[in-house]
Amino acid sequence: MRIVALAGGIGGARFLRGLRQAAPEADITVIGNTGDDISLFGLRVCPDLDTVMYTLGGGINEEQGWGRADERFTIREELAAYEVGPSWFTLGDRDFGTHIVRSQMLDAGYPLSAVTEALCARWKPGVRLLPMSDDRVETHVVIEDAEGRRAVHFQEWWVRLHAQVPARSIVAVGAEDAKPAPGVLEALEAADVVILPPSNPVVSVGTILAVPGIRPAVAAKTVVGVSPIIGGAPVRGMADACLTAIGVETSAGAVAAHYGPDLLDGWLVDTADSDLDGDLDGIAVRSRPLLMTDVDAAAAIARAALDLAAELGS
Ligand code: GDP
Ligand code: CA
């Protein structure tokens, strides 16, 4: 079986670890969000790709959900001593290693897809990890505060401002001119099923779908999604602030309707949202526990997603 999943960071990575366990024989391709990518200290940082790579490769800081396990922060201390910022974005020494290798390869002319493949040669994530695009796409957030109306990088809004300042709009800068990375459309074309893990519908999955060509290629397949919203709130993070910015209510049903029946065939919601069970304007909704408390729980959710896809695809 050939499975393609579109993934952001933590929600995507934890789901994928379950998917890999649920379907050990499957050929899994992951299309990763690169809209969160940022240049810091002269280095290119790809937080979502790295979260997937570290989580599936056994190098993740489990409690935190991002960054490396057994991390140390000497470089950060040295940068602070020089008063070189930003100080709000935490990078540990081990993590710096990844960004140095990536930046060196990018500077040498390798596309991000080739760099990602090279990094994965070490981590062996057990899936094929592709960036959504080799072209630069950056999510910017238009905010208005005491300093006036301006656009900031998504990471500044998310990490420094904790999404506390309302977003007027969220823009994937460069998306419309971006091309899917090599292998992305081919993997979608060959897929038996496409899964949308419980990643942020706006700045993770939404950004991937904004790359021209990806959305129609996904929509042509049997697509099952897993809700990141349970009982009207995100399980973790501030996805509600992103949904509000695009005028979508923070509920499992509203997110399904936002993706739309042209894209989604099936939608898993939590038992807290079991009132949605049945048909939602052409989308088959099933409720089950959706908390990824451990790998087994994530695997059970992944199995349910594959079962629903099998039911709907036949
Ligand atoms: P990010 O890039 O690190 O923000 O990660 P993603 O975009 O991949 O995922 C973020 C989303 O994961 C958030 O909106 C959370 O609600 C969702 N999420 C995190 N843990 C769980 C969980 O255990 N179950 C479900 N259903 N969603 C989760
Ligand atoms: Ca992210």
Q: What is the pLDDT of residues 188-210, one digit of tens each?
A: 999 999 999 999 999 999 999 99
Q: Which ligand is nearest to the CA of 65?
A: 1
Between helix 93-107 and helix 74-81 the angle, nearest 10°, is: 80
β-pairing verdict for 283-287 and 278-280: antiparallel
Q: What is the pLDDT of residues 212-254, one digit of tens each?
A: 999 999 999 999 999 999 999 999 999 999 999 999 999 999 9
Question: How far is ligand 2, taken at its centre, from the CA of residue 47, in Å?
Answer: 6
Instruction: Please check whether residue 191 lies inside any domain of the structure.
Output: yes
| Residue 314 confidence (pLDDT) above 90 | no
Instruction: Please check whether residue 79 lies inside any domain of the structure.
Output: no
Which atom of ligand 1 has the smallest separation from the CA of 66?
Answer: 3
Q: Left, alpha or beta for 213 (phi > 0: left; psi -120 to 50: alpha)?
A: left
Confidence of residue 145 (pLDDT cuts 50, 70, 90): confident
Give the whole-angstrom CA distance, residue 124 versus residue 112: 17
Instruction: Please check whether residue 143 lies inside any domain of the structure.
Output: no
- For position 13, what pLDDT does the model report? 98
Q: Decide: helix, strand or coil at residue 205.
A: helix
Minimum CA distance residue for ligand 1 atom 4: 9
Cis peptide before 24 (omega within 30 of 0): no
Q: What is the pLDDT of residues 105-123, one digit of tens each?
A: 999 999 999 999 999 999 9
Percentage of the chain exceeding pLDDT 90: 98
CATH number at residue 250: 3.40.50.10680
Q: Which ligand is nearest to the CA of 228?
A: 1
Instruction: Please check whether residue 151 lies inside any domain of the structure.
Output: no
Give the whole-angstrom CA distance, residue 173 versus residue 313: 35
Q: What is the pLDDT of residues 10-26, one digit of tens each?
A: 999 999 999 999 999 99
Give the whole-angstrom CA distance, residue 286 versus residue 268: 5
Give the whole-angstrom CA distance, residue 4 versus residue 2: 7
- For position 146, what pLDDT does the model report? 87
Report the domain count for the chain.
1
| Residue 172 confidence (pLDDT) above 80 | yes
The 10 Å Cβ neighbour count of residue 65 is 17
Average pLDDT taken over every residue of the chain: 97
Instruction: Please check whether residue 94 lies inside any domain of the structure.
Output: no
- For position 74, what pLDDT does the model report? 98
Give the whole-angstrom CA distance, residue 210 versus residue 138: 12
Burial class for 278, CB neighbours closer than 10 Å (0-12, 13-18, 19+): exposed
Ligand 1 site: residues with CB under 6 angstroms? Answer: 7-12, 48, 51, 198-200, 204, 226-228, 230, 234-237, 239, 290-292
Which residues span the domain enclosing 288? 2-36+127-134+177-313
Percentage of the chain exceeding pLDDT 70: 100
Extract the tokens encoding 123: 């981590």
